[in-house]
Structure 1
Amino acid sequence: MIQQYILQTPVASILFAVTIATSIYAFSNPQLYASMMLHPYSVHRDKRKWYTVFTSGIIHADWGHLLFNMITFYYFGFALESFFVQVSGDIGHLYFALLYILSLVLSDIPTIVQQKNNPGYYSLGASGAISAALFGYILFQPKAMLGIFMIIPMPAYVFAVLYIGYCIWASKNSNDRINHDAHLFGALSGILITILFYPWIFRHFIDQF
């Protein structure tokens, strides 16, 4: 089973394994953990800190955060890489890697801009890139049944509307210490990048209705 994943979806497999391993290791290494978090205040003042845009995407706040993100990635990240390969052949692996990495960066840029003068703000987690993979998947399968918290079933396109709406609301009103902007801009990045790779995907999406 593991060998099959590695052969068919190598990029998703590597991202999955590295994120889990690094997150678990960082849980017990506070110094490393702190050095890997995204700190917009520092990034704005020291361009060498840009590396934390990437490192913050392979660590998580706690076991619950890691588990939720990895379950989501398992269901939608692996599937999206498979879709890309079915459509484009082996270069689909590269497309998936680019979508994930670019979305990780793009999802953090608004946070860096907004929080650049806030020394107390930190961010971490792969949620932006995983949101991108989820929304890329939804473009391919808009009527797939998804669920809120894996419980309430609904078509993917309905989930997408609710997700975007909640992220917009929460980014302005919530005080739960979750980076909702990263979720929102990650999702939008996933849509944009998937359309750039496959301009016909928008028509495919519409034709499903």
Structure 2
Amino acid sequence: MRDVQSFQHRRTSSMDTAIFTYGTIAVTAIISIMAFRIPSMAEDNIFSTYYILEKHEYFRMISSMFLHADWGHLLLNMFSFYSFSLSIEMVYGFKTAALIYLVSGLGGGLLSLILNRKNMQYRALGASGAVSGIIFSSVFLIPGGSVLVFPLPIPIPSWAFAMLFVLTSIYGLGRMSDNIGHDAHLGGALTGILLCVLLYPDIISRQYILLAGIVTPTILFFLLKDKIEKIIRR
């Protein structure tokens, strides 16, 4: 969870409300729970390379963000979303938080689509890409915070969490042996960063070291993807 002390001095009129954050949690929970009970609902809205690329059902890029595999998946994503989105909405307002969340979700889905375009059996669901975008936007827009990462007993600086997150995602992409959407995580995170830079260009001069630390290994991974995957899978 973020250390809110780092942004208390930047409160805006939105401090008393967090409509987007609470509304998104409510809508996502309702849709996910409905899909738990009605499997066909999940089937008709899940992220699927086949249905998106072959049937042109592009709505699945959005609809899959509101579906989750189980209660654990739903609770983890929504808790993470709440912990970071609340601060963004308090400081930067409803529109910024909503834009980052939705566009990051699309960015995560797009990277998943690109990396899995030859696999027509690929399917995914969850708000992980959107949540990753919110997390990274919070790291850049509200610096100086800390993140509590289970099972570590003490919080770690948000910049360290960002670096660890990216490296873990890259490693996961290289292995491709678990059931975690590392591609969506990374795509959402990078989209969130890009939006921050576009909306607030001064971030480049203020946090260029962190930007370089995140972007450089990501670029190297995609340039040397085949070689890195062989090394990781040994």
Length-normalised TM-score, structure 1:
0.87
Distance in 2 between residues matched to 1:45 and 1:63, nearest whole Å: 31
Distance in 1 between residues matched to 2:206 and 2:24, nearest whole Å: 28
Alignment of 1:107-146 (within 5 A): 107-146=108-147
Distance in 2 between residues matched to 1:141 and 1:7, nearest whole Å: 18
- Tell me how far 1:6 sits from its aligned partner: 10
- Tell me how far 1:95 sits from its aligned partner: 2.2
- Name the amino acid aligned to 1:159: F
Distance in 2 between residues matched to 1:188 and 1:16, nearest whole Å: 23
Alignment correspondent of 2:44: 35
Please point out which of 46, 52, 57 is paired with 2:65: 57
Distance in 1 between residues matched to 2:144 and 2:167, nearest whole Å: 19
User: Contact 1:22 / 1:58 at 8 angstroms: preserved in 2?
Assistant: yes
User: Contact 1:38 / 1:122 at 8 angstroms: preserved in 2?
Assistant: yes
User: Contact 1:41 / 1:115 at 8 angstroms: preserved in 2?
Assistant: no
RMSD after superposition: 2.1
Could you say if the C-alpha distance between residues 124 and 109 of structure 1 is closer, same or farther in structure 2, counting changes exceeding 3 Å? Answer: same
Alignment correspondent of 1:101: 102
Could you say if the C-alpha distance between residues 35 and 104 of structure 1 is closer, same or farther in structure 2, counting changes exceeding 3 Å? Answer: same
- Tell me how far 1:179 sits from its aligned partner: 0.9
Alignment correspondent of 1:175: 177
User: Contact 2:49 / 2:121 at 8 angstroms: preserved in 1?
Assistant: no
- Tell me how far 1:120 sits from its aligned partner: 2.1
User: Contact 1:141 / 1:205 at 8 angstroms: preserved in 2?
Assistant: no
User: Contact 1:142 / 1:155 at 8 angstroms: preserved in 2?
Assistant: no
Alignment correspondent of 2:29: 20
Distance in 2 between residues matched to 1:58 and 1:13, nearest whole Å: 14
Could you say if the C-alpha distance between residues 46 and 6 of structure 1 is closer, same or farther in structure 2, counting changes exceeding 3 Å? Answer: farther
For each residue in 1:7-43, what CA deviation from the matched residue of structure 2 results, as whole angstroms up to 9, or x when unmatched?
6221222211111111111101000011110001221
SS of 1:148's equivalent in the other structure is coil
Could you say if the C-alpha distance between residues 6 and 45 of structure 1 is closer, same or farther in structure 2, counting changes exceeding 3 Å? Answer: farther
Segments of 5+ residues of structure 1 without an aligned counterpart are 86-92
User: Contact 1:107 / 1:129 at 8 angstroms: preserved in 2?
Assistant: yes
- Tell me how far 1:204 sits from its aligned partner: 4.0
Distance in 1 between residues matched to 2:208 and 2:112, nearest whole Å: 32
Give the 4+ runs in structure 1 shifted more than 4 A: none
User: Contact 2:66 / 2:126 at 8 angstroms: preserved in 1?
Assistant: yes
SS of 2:201's equivalent in the other structure is coil
What percentage of residue pairs aligned between the two structures are identical?
A: 32
Distance in 1 between residues matched to 2:45 and 2:162, nearest whole Å: 30
For each residue in 1:145-201, what CA deviation from the matched residue of structure 2 results, as whole angstroms up to 9, or x when unmatched?
212226342100001001001101101114111110100111111111011111123
Aligned length, in residue pairs:
196
Segments of 5+ residues of structure 2 without an aligned counterpart are 1-13, 210-234
Alignment correspondent of 1:45: 54
SS of 1:136's equivalent in the other structure is helix
